[in-house]
A and B are shown apart, each in its own frame.
Chain A
Amino acid sequence: MDVSLFIADSLAASVRLGTPLLLAALGELVVQRSGVLNIGLEGLMLVAAFTGVATADVALAGGCSNSTALALGTGAALAAGLIYSAGFAVTAVLCRWDQIVCGMALNLAAIGLTGTLHRGLFLDRGELLSVETFEPIALPLLSDIPILGRLFEQSLPVYIAYLAVPLVTLLLYRSRWGLTVRAAGDNPRAVDASGRSVAAVRCSAILFGGLFGGLAGATLTLADASSFAGNMTAGRGFIALAVVIFGRWHPGWVALVALFFGAANAAQYRLQAVGLDGVPHQLLLALPYLASLLALAWSGGRPGAAPSALGKAYRRSERERES
């Protein structure tokens, strides 16, 4: 009885902790399938996490109800993700600057931006940034299953994330937009020759990724932490990049891998709580990062699934630069 409860609890925690990774990775997956590598995901999540919780906090202080505050916060986080990724779209696609440099710049800017605003708007005024998180919703019938029922008492973003897996699959493999996105990542010239704008396709994919990254950020503060701390994403954006690679750029695999990373995270918490003799807790904290390192080492030697045009700016004419 005790053991089965522990397992069910761990499973539920895996699902919950894997959610921000899954959301961010699903968005980034679409971005990368269009041929763009947005390593600014980490910064994007951080900005969205802060915007979400700050908006919800202000709304609560303004007398909004809890659920209204959460809705406003989530909306603000989505908007922040959209705006932040638009910055990436403009620099990396329209200006064709180096995608890695643009992504790094956005990551660094996010740490500075959120840190400064957090300090200036809240900490220095002695205000504590704090909100009520999303309530778990028990799904009827499913949550009544013995033991496994725990899996179906999750917050709204969790359900959205897992529902998004088949939807993104459908979008990528059965929709005209998804077809164009995949073609743009494989050979952008094919898209150009078909009379469609490669830049437009890639920008739309980046904005799509921005929405998902925004929701991932919102999940961190509005579903898990209920507050904000400097640089609180703690590398989750980068781990989401690893999830995309390990998931071989396919939504289904990405979901499994995100779940696996969620489990690594859950295990870390559990083991810390239980306390293993002789194992320093710092080592346990490193578990998710170790898992992503191993995952990258494993999949790094297996190329082939990556979109061929990943990370390359598209120029119609090779001679464009000269003329």
Chain B
Amino acid sequence: MGILVRNLTKKYGDFQAVNGVTFEVPAGQLVALLGPSGSGKSSILRIIAGLELADTGSVELTGEDATHVPVQRRGVGFVFQHYALFRHMTIRENVAFGLELRRPKPNKDEIRARVDELLGLVQLMGHAERYPSQLSGGQRQRVALARALAPKPKVLLLDEPFGALDAKVRDELRAWLRRLHDEDHMTTLFVTHDQQEAFEVADQVIVLNHGKVEQMGPPQWLYERPATPFVTEFLGSVNVLNVETVLTMDQHGDEVPLSLDLPGSEGGRAVYVRPHDLEVQRHRDGRPCWPARIRRLTPLGGLARLVLTLHDGTDIQVQLTRQRCLELSLAQGDDVFVLPKDLKVFHQPGNFVENYMI
């Protein structure tokens, strides 16, 4: 087992940052803690590292209870968002720092060899004698990673590791981190607010909101089977429609309310549809559909994004392939019919989900 946290809570003044969080990171996996800012993800990471103490709950690292072990002896590698390199030390001194503190202390040659190995790994061999201020952001973050890995930590923790980098460098580093993990399989937990990053890099994703775990699982599974409205909305774009006001045209051309079998239909319940789960047609074919008008059409390379207005005035987003768009020869202002392929409805008490495939 890699990391196990049980029932963590943490309060800052009146703010409940972490509220009863329990999860497990299996050994050798790369897991993302995903959530919006203020969801408690960084606090959880810092509690696991021992940089902060939880109010209640426990932390286990590789099967041993670490709740009361000071940060110095937890054996975690930690990478900070803004690198936190020691600016008065060279790159070599930065990477060697943790090695020099190990007991028994490795001799000079061992330290040198290990630093060289890591600088080779992060492809910064030629920069060993430079200072952090002489490196680019991406290079600095690689040094920070090498420094964290040097003492061979039990687990690796990364706090928004690519958040401060520009888009291109960020993509490169993501791919690189994934490759690195595929080679050495170190138990890794990283924090991010970017769902694309979590999906690209992680084996599993833990979605957090308001200091609680909303859902945990492999990325694609979370995307297809979100457990809560929050997860649905947070992972990719989604149309939220009001059950009561959206009218469907039935096979006779009559407009009727959504024919969903909803027990105890109370007001304000919502239906969730992803933009690519909607089909657009010129003509009705007998299946239930929503009449709509194209308000805006934005070609995006191989795809096209449509904003449609339904009869009740709701705007919805639809994503089509460019191909399909051309086939239908769609233009702004056209009247079309929309067929939902996959609808999700969340039943509030119990939070259980129903998927309606139409």
The answer to whether A and B belong to the same complex is no
